[in-house]
Amino acid sequence: MTKQCQILGTHVSTGNNVSHSHRKTRRTFKPNLQRKRYWVPSLRRHVTLTVSAQGIKTISRIGIEAALVRAHARGYLDSKSIR
């Protein structure tokens, strides 16, 4: 499973841990990914997505069908993953 949100494209990013003495060591920032199952009325079936917490909020705000169309247009979601 890739560590990327299928709705927003959020992925692992890198940065620095900074200690009290300002020494810097590399670290990763991982997105809060969840596997979530949604009912899609136009397909008349459930779709399982890997979405971030912000992606869940986006789906609840604009709707699952609009979110799928937007994600497919941006290239975050391929058509075989929603079949």
What is the DSSP pairing of strand 45-52 with strand 33-40?
Answer: antiparallel
Is residue 46 assigned to a domain?
A: yes
As for how many domains the chain has, the answer is 1
Q: What pLDDT score does 78 carry?
A: 77
- When pLDDT is cut at 50, 70 and 90, the band that residue 13 belongs to is very high
Question: In CATH, what number is assigned to the domain containing residue 19?
Answer: 2.30.170.40
pLDDT at 77 over 90: no
Is residue 5 assigned to a domain?
A: no
Is residue 3 assigned to a domain?
A: no
Do residues 59 and 51 lie in contact, with contact meaning Cβ atoms separated by under 8 Å? yes
At 19-67, the pLDDT tens digits run 999 999 999 999 999 999 999 999 999 999 999 999 999 999 999 999 9
Q: What pLDDT score does 21 carry?
A: 98
Reported pTM: 0.85
Is residue 4 assigned to a domain?
A: no
The number of angstroms, rounded, from the C-alpha of 72 to the middle of its chain's C-alpha atoms is 13
Residues 32-61: b if buried by 16+ CB within 10 A, e if exposed: ebeeeebeeeeeeeebebbbbeebbebbee
Rounded CA separation 70/20 (Å): 43
